[in-house]
Structure 1
């Protein structure tokens, strides 16, 4: 009798698990359909925690706020705002760099990217930053510690891996 109850309970649990995704999809609509005006007007904030440079010589943290996400063939956020702080954790001649790779959608449907970098060379005093990007498709971050310069080095840009902070859905 206990075996029958256990099997009945397992069958009911399996039925509920298989029904839940179908009910959720019915409530939100199938993927790929356009969003309602209320959904496109919503704003979403993503906090990205502390990210360190190799050797923990620099760090950064902040947030990304996206609004008006477009779920067309190539999704993108209509407007996005990136803000945060970058810290130099060395007492020497190096600086802390937060380098962002912003991939955005153009009117003709291409997905080019550009780099945005923020540098802090003052040990103990973080540098705040804020910038915006229209039609953002993907946001990636790399944190480096190197000498002060007009732009990050090729080693900073191309060695190691980018940390993905956001991809439009």
Structure 2
């Protein structure tokens, strides 16, 4: 479907109020798009979810990523935050699967380890590494977009090993 240089990953840092996204092409790697989808907290939940779903579907249709990497948050202190992140994450996973994309989830520690070499790296270090790997003039902002770019880069870094494991297992 894609030439080797056209392998694209859409990274998603899920959230209902702010959902970070970044489209990264393997060649370079190169950032093709980066930003944040926002939904107004004053809107009703179904309308916010519908707006987020529409924006995610639009990103997938426009950039046609081969893979979508979504942050997998398995622990949140605030239950309300956990619910909204889970809902946004579910939308991203469903939209990616519906579009036929490869779907992967990574914990924050897995992303930090792949990007900065240490699972406990602070956000600033991850942003600096994203900046360096994508050859940006300054660290990406806002933090949600930077996290999404880190997710896409993490997937690009770990995908070759996953592919080898799958082949060895006969899948």
Q: Quick check: TM above 0.5?
A: no
Asked which structure has the greater RCO (Cα within 8 Å, sep 6+), the reply is 2
Give 1 or 2: higher strand fraction.
1
Give 1 or 2: higher helix fraction.
2
TM-score scaled by structure 1?
A: 0.29
TM-score scaled by structure 2?
A: 0.29
Return the index of the structure with the highest Cα Rg: 1
